[in-house]
C-alpha cells in the first residue's frame, strides 16, 4: 500500500438493485479521481456477485480502518449505523446518501448523489462530530462483563413479552427512581429522532449536547423523559427481585443479556462519530422535510429579527 494513496470506503445495502447501481457509479467516480475504492468484508461477497470488483480493496484484509479517508454510505439509517460500526476506531467521516425512506442520518438524497460524490472526493465538505455513548454492563459483583458503544441509543429492554422489568435509575451516582417497566432508552441527540422519538422522548437539536433518558411503559408516578448533561453518567440496574431478565441493545445492532442484578452504565464516549456535511441546512428544515410537518401559515422571520 502506498501511503499517499487515498482510500474511500463504500458501504452499500447490497440486496437492493438501486443501491447496487448507485455503488457502480460511486466506484467509477472514485477510480476516476485516482483514489482507491474499498469495501467491507461483509459487503464484498454479495457485491462481487453483481459488480466487477477488480482493483477494489477489502477493509481488514488489504487496508486498515485507520487508513480510510472517508466512507460513502448508500442506504438508509440502518446502513449508516452499520457504517459507523465499520469505521469505529478510525477517523474517517461518513457521508450518508439516502436510498431508504426517512434517512435522518443521511446528508443528501439520491437525486444529488453524483454532485455529492464529486464534492467529497474534492474534499469540499466539513466534518460534524456527534456525541456517542460508551456503554458497560456490570454483573451483580460489579465486574465489567461487556463493553460497547452507541451512536443513537442504548436501550435496556425486557427479554420476554409477558414479563416486566424491575429497574432502578441512577444519575451521577445518585438513585433517582425504581419502577416496573418495559425498558429504558438512553439516547444521544442524534438518536433523539429514532427510538427515543417513538417512545415519547424529546427531539434534541444536534448542537445541544445532552443525553435523553426515557422510561418505556413505566408503572410509576414519576417516569417522565429526562434530559441530562452530556457529561452525566446514567445507570440502569435490573433489580434482583425482577421476575424476568432483560437485554441491552445498542443502535439495534449490538446486544447483551441482562440477568437480575446486572447494571448498565452509559456515559459520553471519548470518541465521537464524524459525519461529512455538504450543506449548512438548519436542523429545523430537516425535521420539517423528513417528518413532512405542516408549516402552512408561516409568515417568515418576525419583524425586527434577523
Name the residues annotated as catalytic: 77
Pairing between strand 153-158 and 183-187? antiparallel
Backbone angles phi, psi at 40, to 5 degrees: -80, 160
For the residues of the chain, what is the DSSP string, one character each? Answer: --TTS-EEEEEE-TTSHHHHHHHHHHHHHHHHTTPEEEE-TTTHHHHHTTS--TT-EEBTTTB-GGG-SEEEEEE-HHHHHHHHHHTBTB---EEEEE-SSS-TT-SEEGGGHHHHHHHHHTT--EEEEE--EEEEEE-TT--EEEEEEESSEEEEEESSTT--EEEEEEETTEEEEEEEESEEEEE-TGGGGTHHHHTTPPP--TTS--EEEEEES-BSSS---EEE-TT--EEEEE-TT-SS-EEEEETTTEEEEE-TT-EEEEEE-SSPEEEEE-----HHHHHHHHHT---TT---SPTT--
What length is written for the chain? 306
Amino acid at each position: 500500500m502506498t501511503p499517499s494513496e487515498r482510500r474511500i470506503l463504500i458501504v452499500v445495502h447490497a440486496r437492493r438493485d438501486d443501491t447496487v447501481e448507485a455503488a457502480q457509479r460511486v466506484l467509477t467516480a472514485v477510480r476516476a479521481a485516482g483514489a482507491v475504492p474499498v469495501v467491507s468484508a461483509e459487503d464484498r461477497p454479495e457485491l462481487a456477485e453483481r459488480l466487477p470488483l477488480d482493483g477494489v480493496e477489502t477493509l481488514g484484509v488489504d487496508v486498515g480502518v485507520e487508513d480510510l479517508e472517508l466512507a460513502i454510505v448508500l442506504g438508509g439509517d440502518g446502513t449508516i449505523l452499520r457504517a459507523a460500526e465499520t469505521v469505529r476506531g478510525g477517523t474517517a467521516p461518513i457521508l450518508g446518501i439516502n436510498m431508504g425512506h426517512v434517512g435522518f442520518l443521511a446528508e443528501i438524497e439520491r437525486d444529488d448523489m453524483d454532485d455529492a460524490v464529486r464534492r467529497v472526493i474534492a474534499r469540499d465538505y466539513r466534518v460534524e462530530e456527534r456525541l456517542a455513548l460508551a456503554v458497560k454492563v456490570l454483573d451483580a459483583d460489579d465486574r465489567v462483563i461487556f463493553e460497547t458503544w452507541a451512536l443513537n441509543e442504548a436501550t435496556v429492554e425486557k427479554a420476554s413479552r409477558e414479563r416486566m422489568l424491575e429497574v432502578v435509575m441512577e444519575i451521577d451516582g445518585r438513585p433517582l427512581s425504581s419502577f416496573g417497566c418495559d425498558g429504558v432508552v438512553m439516547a444521544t441527540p442524534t438518536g433523539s429522532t429514532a427510538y427515543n422519538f417513538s417512545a415519547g422522548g424529546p427531539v434534541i437539536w444536534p448542537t445541544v449536547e445532552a443525553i435523553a433518558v426515557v422510561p418505556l411503559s413505566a408503572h410509576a408516578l414519576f417516569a417522565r423523559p429526562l434530559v441530562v448533561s452530556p457529561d452525566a453518567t446514567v445507570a440502569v440496574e435490573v433489580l434482583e427481585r425482577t421476575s424476568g431478565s432483560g437485554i441491552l441493545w445498542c443502535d439495534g445492532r449490538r446486544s447483551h443479556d441482562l440477568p437480575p442484578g446486572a447494571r448498565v452504565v452509559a456515559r459520553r464516549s471519548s470518541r465521537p462519530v464524524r459525519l461529512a456535511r455538504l450543506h449548512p441546512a438548519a436542523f429545523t428544515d430537516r425535521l420539517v422535510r423528513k417528518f413532512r410537518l405542516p408549516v402552512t401559515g408561516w409568515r417568515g422571520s418576525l419583524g425586527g429579527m434577523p
